[in-house]
Amino acid sequence: MLNISSDQDLALSPAIGFSDPLHVYFLVGMSGRESRKALFRLLSRREILDNVLASDIVFEILDARIPEYLRNRFLERVAMNNGKRLVLVLNKSDLVPRSVISEWINYYRDRGLECIATSASTGDIRAVKRILREAGREIMASFFGAPKVGKSSLVNTLKGKKSATVSRYPGTPGYTKGIQVYRIYRNVYIIDTPGSLPIDADRLEMIIRTRPPEKIENPLGIAIELIERIERIMPGSIERAYGVSGKPLEILEVLAIKRGWILRGSGEPNIEEAAREIIRSYLDGRIRFYTKPDHMDIISKA
């Protein structure tokens, strides 16, 4: 691990090359203290390169609700430049209308990218199994993805048994901490990797996906940003989830009161707990929210 001084900013510069095996994906724009809290385990560019080169097929697992926020274009370039079969996997497809999934699949296919949909939580990973079984020879397939996209659940479903506990939230026990190889069929091996985040990944997604909600500093500010983004792309989502509308801070105050989250002594609503609830519900899919290809202009500004 890199030796970082206490006051050194851990944000990466895009100018750094991937030849450095210690080049770990840190949070962009975070202070050193806050970035270190997020380092439960992320892949370096060297690790990505080595595992792609060892693979015949590279599966990039994306959250079907927000695929463009979490794409790792470095991974994609390495796979395609080295002649590997790259497959984008829209996981959690059960949280998105089928028509929208079809739009995303067509969107990526029009851009020369193979794309399939799965739902590891419901056990529907037929598309992945079909690709692995049709190879007809011994193959190695690697699975990459940002934290909390359901990658480990998908791998465990492929294995046919839950040999590793899958954690609901990042940074807690059950998250993939090292690179692991499994044989799932007679001639098919899979590589399960820890979470990987590109240095240009969406800042908000980085923060909420690399630590438990309880460990997020300033959850209030993060939840307000999240509410604003959700309402900008899918107006009314928060009201449908909680029966509350208004400005973000008003939503958090009313939610805290409705749930009985009151601070002792002051009697004020505990809006930080309400903020963490918004973050949890967003990650778990309890807030109905998803993006479409025709949201790209909004996404680029979100």
164 shares a domain with 38:
yes
CA pair distance 38, 27, nearest whole angstrom: 8
Q: Would 271 be classed as within a structural domain?
A: yes
188 forms bridges with which residues in the sheet? 139, 185
147 shares a domain with 226:
no
Give the residue numbers spanning the domain of 225.
218-301
- Edge-to-edge strand ranges of the sheet holding 188-192: 114-117, 85-91, 57-63, 139-145, 188-192, 180-185
234 shares a domain with 137:
no
Q: Pick the last residue of a domain from 192, 226, 257.
A: 192
Q: Would 5 be classed as within a structural domain?
A: no
CB 288, CB 237: distance < 8 Å: yes
Residue 179 sits in a domain of what CATH number? Answer: 3.40.50.300
Say how many domains are in the chain. Answer: 2
pLDDT in tens, the chain (302 residues): 222 222 222 222 232 233 333 344 433 333 344 443 444 456 788 889 999 999 999 999 999 999 999 999 999 999 999 999 999 999 999 999 999 999 999 999 999 999 999 999 888 999 999 999 998 889 999 999 999 999 999 999 998 864 433 334 444 444 445 788 999 988 999 999 988 887 778 899 999 998 899 999 999 999 999 999 999 999 999 999 999 999 999 999 999 999 999 999 999 999 999 999 999 999 999 999 999 998 776 665 55
57 shares a domain with 186:
yes
Q: Pick the last residue of a domain from 192, 209, 228.
A: 192
Find the angle CA(27)-CA(84)-CA(103) to the nearest 5 degrees: 70
174 shares a domain with 59:
yes
Q: Pick the last residue of a domain from 192, 207, 232.
A: 192
Residue located via tokens 């309400």: 274
**Distance set, CA 88 to CA 29, 60, 190, 252, 282 (Å):** 28, 5, 16, 36, 22
Q: Would 204 be classed as within a structural domain?
A: no
Residue 287 sits in a domain of what CATH number? Answer: 1.10.1580
